[in-house]
Amino acid sequence: MAKYQADVQALLHAIGGKENIQAVSHCMTRMRFVLVDPAKADTAAIESIPAVKGTFTQAGQFQVIIGNDVAIFYNEFTAYAGIEGVSKDAVKAAAQTNQSLLQRIMGTLGEIFAPIIPALICGGLILGFRNVIGEINFFNNGTQSLSDISQFWAGMYSFLWLIGEAVFHMLPVGIVWSITKKMGTTQILGIILGLTLVSPQLLNGFSVATTAPADIPVWDFGFIQIQMIGYQGQVIAAMLAGFVLVYLEKFFKKICPEVVSMIVVPFCSLVPAVIVAHTIVGPIGWQIGDAIAAVVYAGLTSNVRWLFAALFGLLYAPIVMTGLHHMTNAIDSQLVNLYGGTNLWPMIALSNIAQGSAVLAMSVLQKKNERAQQVNIPACISCYLGVTEPALFGVNLKYGFPLVCGMIGSACAAVICIGSGVQAYSIGVGGLPGILSIMPQYWLNFLLAMLTAIVVPFILTILVGSRKLAAGERGLSAGAAETAAAPAATPAVEEQPQAEAPAAPVEGVTAPLSGRIIPMEEIPDQVFSQGILGEGVGIEPTSNVVVAPADAIVCSVIEDSRHAVGLTLDNGAELLIHVGIDTVSMNGDGFQLHVKEGDRVRLGDKLITFDPEKIKAAGHPTTTAFLVTDPGDTTPTFETNVDAQAGKTVVIHF
């Protein structure tokens, strides 16, 4: 008898039957479905299946979380359903058919901006720090700044602009590079095109507004003159230029014979792209970007700015759930370019805080519901640090009213923020740390808005939840809840009877990778960060070799993607080592697997070798999840915020 026969049958029925499955694949922990009609999937029924640890929808894929046994479950499911699984790329392509044109555009925009957001955040923090040491007069009765009275800080003020200029003046280089990476064309050509947009031969884009037209240099071709204007800080113009290059390269690759493509394709792609960028799409993109930024800025500075702010604060969280929020990155960047700061980003940080406060209230309401707390607490922490998806999808949307309470609190905070003129230097760290990107003269105003974003959603959620949440959901009848949950665990116990010999003692498990050990909540993946698959830690790797953290049996691997491995320790506990986030989509490129399922490994044995640069180039974090997916009869504890050596530093204690 198949191990998961009953669960497989239940899942096929709850997901809408075979006819509702357009494509299915799996990674190390999840089944990935593309459904014909997602509305036919009964999420509540699916999540009640014993083998299922949770569900969520992302980028058109309906994902069912199984855990280490997902390969077994997948094989039994496809055999029972009479369907064939497909590759991850095929699932991803099929998933796009479930998205509207606008969703696909926003998804592409998000993937373009994702790799450059860390630089924008860093740049914003640096500008804030420069302002504190060089622009604010703290000394001598308010007449001198720190850089005025200290040569060291004067040098630091000047030195830090090296980074600030690289981030904001050279932004088009990063944008065009990211477009070529996303679209699968030659990235170095994108970098070169971006460099031509910010060449020192051109009039700096930030100086155009203060330069008389007659003083703007030109290229004179006799029959036509072209202004030599740079596009420093321009977003839309750089994006249009990037897509022109991508189109030209793909076109010439199609028509050019392979034998001369190395010579013809780069030349015929780059030269026309540079010409078009400086004569057509550059000026057009400049005007479009300025127009969008001007409309937003006018709305946020007009007599009815309170209404604009209230609507933005109210609707931002639902916008995040659709993926359309990626457009704000381009608008923020354009506002910074035109006006030296952005009043849009502070409202985004406040929305994160408001949704986190709603989850905090749910944590108070459900303090006796241990299962709910496993989701509430990490979701609240990640939300306060600017990552809202775990809170939105895992808690607030699930119950409904916390989402609305958070939206109301966000709207109130946004009105205070815009009404008092708060501005940020650039896109910053989300959530509570968002104050670091706010111009210091607005800190008190932003703190008041932050307090509103914390208090209003918290009180509203407590008031509404105390009436709407049933006793069982609040954990007040915990005994009954535990009794009801007990049968779910029974099949696993029956299928895997205890061995006659006692389990071997395991006191400590070492890090499988060298690197910084971070709390589980900081892993940038909602399935891992919420503890759905089990408790554990994240690792920011400084090495590229995964080793066995203890003596164990290899219980699961995926041969084609080679990015993760499951281990069973001698004490019966099961571990998962998952290298990178969403690296299953790389189809094994950059990974080498050194073991197979069933192998016996010793502490320090090599399991996986990977290329961190390939992971980063593919747009994925290298953060590695290290989880106890099944503790067995043990109670593990974890070390965090330490620098670990692979195979030597103990990070899990039993």
Which residues are designated catalytic?
27
For residue 300, give both structure tokens: 């946020």
Phi, psi (rounded to 5 degrees) for 18? -60, -40
- Burial tier of 598 (Cβ tally within 10 Å: 0-12, 13-18, 19+): exposed
Q: Name every residue whose Cβ is closer than 8 Å to that of residue 84 and which is 6 or more positions away in sequence.
A: 78
Q: Cβ distance 169 to 207 under 8 Å?
A: no
CA distance 54 to 42: 12
Residue that is written with structure tokens 């230097």 in the block? 425
- From CA 333, how far away is CA 312, in angstroms rounded? 18
Closest CA to 574 of 561, 560, 589, 556: 556
Structure tokens at 517: 């050990």
Across 54-66, b (16+ Cβ under 10 Å) vs e yields bbbbebbbbbbbb
Radius of gyration of the chain measured on its C-alpha atoms: 27
With beta carbons less than 8 A apart as the criterion, state whether 174 and 196 touch: no
- CA 460 vs CA 40, 398, 401, 409, 452: distances in Å: 33, 17, 9, 9, 12
Residue 134, helix vs strand vs coil: helix
Separation of CA 77 from chain center: 30
Query: Distance of CA 544 to CAs 175, 410, 591, 597, 646, Å?
Result: 28, 42, 10, 21, 10
Q: Cβ distance 645 to 593 under 8 Å? A: no
SS3 of 625-646: the string is: EEEEEECCCCCCEECCCEEECC
**Residue 188 belongs to what H/E stretch?**
helix 187-197
- Paired tokens of 132: 């504190």
Q: DSSP 3-state assignment of 447?
A: helix
Signed CA dihedral, 200, 205, 211, 212: sign only: positive
